[in-house]
Amino acid sequence: MSGMVEKRGLGTWLTHIGLLVGIAIICFPIYMAFVASTVTQPEIARPPMPLLPGAHFIENYTAALTQGINAPVWLMIVNSSVMAMGIAVGKIVISIISAYAIVYFRFPFRMMFFWLIFLTLMLPVEVRIVPTYEVVAGFGMLNSYTGLILPLIASATATFLFRQFFLTVPDELAEAARVDGAGPVRFFLDILLPMSRTNIAALFVILFIYGWNQYLWPLLITTKPEMNTIVMGIKQMFPSGDDIADWPVIMATTLMAMLPPVAVVVFMQRLFVKGLVESEK
């Protein structure tokens, strides 16, 4: 098509080269981290560090997973998985049922509840750090999965997304269900929920990444190393004084920290893009 209106050839090659250069620059930090995770600490401590991977891959990753520095990394991965799953599932469950209530029922204070949920968009955790910490500490939720998950599971975005979707569902379905004598719970479970499958999956991808990548909240809530999540635990692995950091183990941990969300984006790209675009509507 473009060939009709202008000569390309050279231009196309330049475009490909430009893209490859851009990609190389973007991938470079990851490559260096990978190299660092396969060499020994003395090799890094005597700069310049090697540019090609070394032979200590298994050794460094095993050391990170089984010992780590403050806590074994496998434990931090378990904590991150529980937190990410808890947040993703929790947000989806409480949002889909509140959207159902708001769209399919008429009751006093309906709009007030809607605005209450809407306003949480204006209250990100970064902004109310100290008082939220105090509330959670007051409930005795420090160093617990409940403390990591519960305060983050309200979701205006997910509620809007489901509300938007429910509004596009034909009224005839609810009418037919009513004629057949199905109550609201049956209608929700047998018809609405199966119809929402794709939306739920797309949202799950986005929310899993959101939960896994949390940093500030676990930093405040977990003071015990064995409750740390992997993303916030990396920073805790650096020595406080002038000692040289154990870079190979730290970089192995860093790569393991980014692997699950990156894998989700790469392998579920279509769902991911759908979730990303829709949650911004």
Contact code string over 198-217 relative to another protein, x by CB under 8 A: -----------x--xxxxx-
Instruction: Single out the residue of 207, 252, 264, 271 in contact with another protein (rule: CB under 8 A).
Output: 264
Residue from 113, 148, 156 nearest 132 by CA: 148
- Binding flag, residue 87, another protein (CB under 8 A): no
281 SS3 class: coil
User: Smallest distance from the beta carbon of 67 to another protein, in angstroms?
Assistant: 19
Spatial distance between the Cα atoms of 247 and 118, rounded to a whole number of angstroms:
44
CA atoms within 13 A on the CB side of 20: 6
Residue from 160, 122, 147, 112 nearest 218 by CA: 147
User: Smallest distance from the beta carbon of 193 to another protein, in angstroms?
Assistant: 13
User: Smallest distance from the beta carbon of 45 to another protein, in angstroms?
Assistant: 6
- Binding flag, residue 45, another protein (CB under 8 A): yes
Rounded-to-10 torsion of CA 10, 12, 18, 21 = -100
- Binding flag, residue 2, another protein (CB under 8 A): yes
Instruction: Single out the residue of 19, 137, 189, 193 in contact with another protein (rule: CB under 8 A).
Output: 19
Site for another protein in 234-263 (CB under 8 A): 234-235, 244, 247, 250-251, 254, 257-258, 261-262
How many binding residues for another protein (CB under 8 A)? 107
Residue matched to tokens 């009418």: 175
- Binding flag, residue 88, another protein (CB under 8 A): no
Q: Using CB under 8 A, which of the segments 14-22, 58-66, 68-76, 189-197 binds another protein? A: 14-22
Q: Which residues contact 8 (CB under 8 A, 6 or more apart)?
A: 2
- Binding flag, residue 48, another protein (CB under 8 A): yes
Instruction: Single out the residue of 124, 146, 195, 224 in contact with another protein (rule: CB under 8 A).
Output: 124
Q: What is the rounded end-to-end Cα distance, in angstroms, of the chain?
A: 33
Residue from 269, 270, 274, 246 nearest 64 by CA: 246
Instruction: Single out the residue of 78, 129, 142, 191 in contact with another protein (rule: CB under 8 A).
Output: 129
Spatial distance between the Cα atoms of 99 and 93, rounded to a whole number of angstroms:
10
The amino acid at 19: L
Show contacts of 258-265: CB within 8 Å, 24+ apart: 258/30, 260/80, 260/81, 260/84, 260/212, 261/208, 261/209, 261/212, 261/213, 264/205, 264/208, 264/209, 265/205, 265/209
Spatial distance between the Cα atoms of 270 and 7, rounded to a whole number of angstroms:
33
User: Smallest distance from the beta carbon of 210 to another protein, in angstroms?
Assistant: 10
Instruction: Single out the residue of 127, 180, 181, 194 in contact with another protein (rule: CB under 8 A).
Output: 127
Site for another protein in 149-178 (CB under 8 A): 150-151, 153-155, 159, 166-167, 171, 174-175, 178
- Binding flag, residue 227, another protein (CB under 8 A): no
- Binding flag, residue 101, another protein (CB under 8 A): yes
- Binding flag, residue 58, another protein (CB under 8 A): no
Instruction: Single out the residue of 9, 10, 130, 194 in contact with another protein (rule: CB under 8 A).
Output: 130
Instruction: Single out the residue of 9, 181, 183, 241 in contact with another protein (rule: CB under 8 A).
Output: 183
